[in-house]
Amino acid sequence: MSLPILLDIPMPIVTDHLLIRESRAGEGRAINEAVAESFTELHRWMPWAKSMPSVEESESFSRETAAKFLTRKDFGLRVWSPDGQRLWGAAGLHPQNWDARSFEIGYWIRTSEAGKGLMTEAVVALTAYAFKHLDAGRIQIRCDSGNTASRRVAEKSGYVLEGTHRRDCVNNEGTLRDTCVYARLRD
């Protein structure tokens, strides 16, 4: 295996309805607006959404995400409208084990864009991308067992439920939750 830092990672990923690309400096306001619109849903399901970030915190996060992309430590991507003018959400390819070529996809979509199949389109594209450009052997999606929308995205994207980890996490309300683990294998 070559060193991850040496991988050429072609960007952007373009689908019929989406532009998916790496995070960039200067996108803090766009991220913050999408998070603010969607904060009620994000707070319910995403461990990182404990409190609403400031625009400055969103910009800092955007720059940290861009740096991790450059060093190949993580692939935090932004999901944009096809013209690149409106941020619709985020999706990431998170390396779990480079030697095994194992990754995790995480995602969220802006509330006003939910239910349109856009995140399923993004996950299908990211899955194909990871198999082709990162030589992924395994990709998993983890989500709260009660998050039926996220579970539907995984299932519609061809992921198989491998199991449910019972009471393995605490949600933002301090309640124990169960986590569904879905996966796809290269073969």
Q: Return the DSSP state at 26.
A: T
Mean pLDDT of 125-142: 97
What would the pLDDT profile of 23-75 be if each residue is shown by its tens digit?
Answer: 999 999 999 999 999 999 999 999 999 999 999 999 999 999 999 999 999 99
User: Sorting pLDDT into bands at 50, 70 and 90, what band is 98?
Assistant: very high
Integer Cα distance of 183 and 165 in angstroms: 14
Integer Cα distance of 165 and 162 in angstroms: 10
SS (H, E, C) 68-79: HHHHCCCEEEEE
